Amino acid sequence: GAVVSQHPSRVICKSGTSVKIECRSLDFQATTMFWYRQFPKQSLMLMATSNEGSKATYEQGVEKDKFLINHASLTLSTLTVTSAHPEDSSFYICSASKGGSATQYFGPGTRLLVL
Amino acid sequence: DQQVKQNSPSLSVQEGRISILNCDYTNSMFDYFLWYKKYPAEGPTFLISISSIKDKNEDGRFTVFLNKSAKHLSLHIVPSQPGDSAVYFCAASAYIGNEKLTFGTGTRLTIIP
């Protein structure tokens, strides 16, 4: 199997606070993890790619100081949305891949609402 | 620049019939292709993949066809079932081992009982 979990599934926070989202690969070691954002009725937008033990690679237009990514182990990556604002409200999805494979396995997503 | 395109935003198919979802790409460096299924407020679920050395891959009710010369791939679902109703995304990778995927915009498939 290839199961990926995310926590929390939903979070509501006040503007200006920081929110941390965890992504875990439960039954395999993920050499690479990815963070996506999906706006309503749109495709998945890749935000960043993270490899265990190294700095994340951010896509163009994604603020690395705004979206902090840590990939501390082969089974855990975290995304922290710092000083969240209402425009950060979105559906955030992580995925993980096994070494040498382009197939990504996705988590269930986290719905973030910033008031 | 949309490198992976799904030109049909929606598709309705009678239960039991064949569903055909299409995907076109422009980047000739893509050599690995995947299909994902997604329900609302959930993460995508991997369905099937194909590498560029093949033109067909089959897994149960799902078959993916790849036409490299036309830069076109399709997903066939037969027979279609009500549980297949979801949004389907095709995705492509530039080479196996480069795990970054480029996604299409998705096609919403509705199976009519």
Taking an 8 Å cut-off on Cβ atoms, the answer to whether A104 and B43 are in contact is no
Amino acid at A22: E
The answer to whether A42 and B89 have CB atoms below 8 angstroms apart is no
Whose tokens are 């093949």? That residue is B54
Q: What is the pLDDT of residues B1-42, one digit of tens each?
A: 679 999 999 999 999 999 999 999 999 989 999 999 999 888
Query: Which token pair is B108?
Result: 């919403």
Q: What is the pLDDT of residues A7-60, one digit of tens each?
A: 999 999 999 999 999 999 999 998 899 999 998 778 889 999 998 888 899 999
Taking an 8 Å cut-off on Cβ atoms, the answer to whether A44 and B103 are in contact is yes
Angle, CA of A100, A6 and A112, to the nearest 5°: 125
Q: Which of B30, B47, B64, B99 to mutate to test the interface with A (most CBs of A within 10 A)?
A: B99
Distance CA B113, CA B110 (A): 10
What three-state secondary structure class fits A87?
A: helix
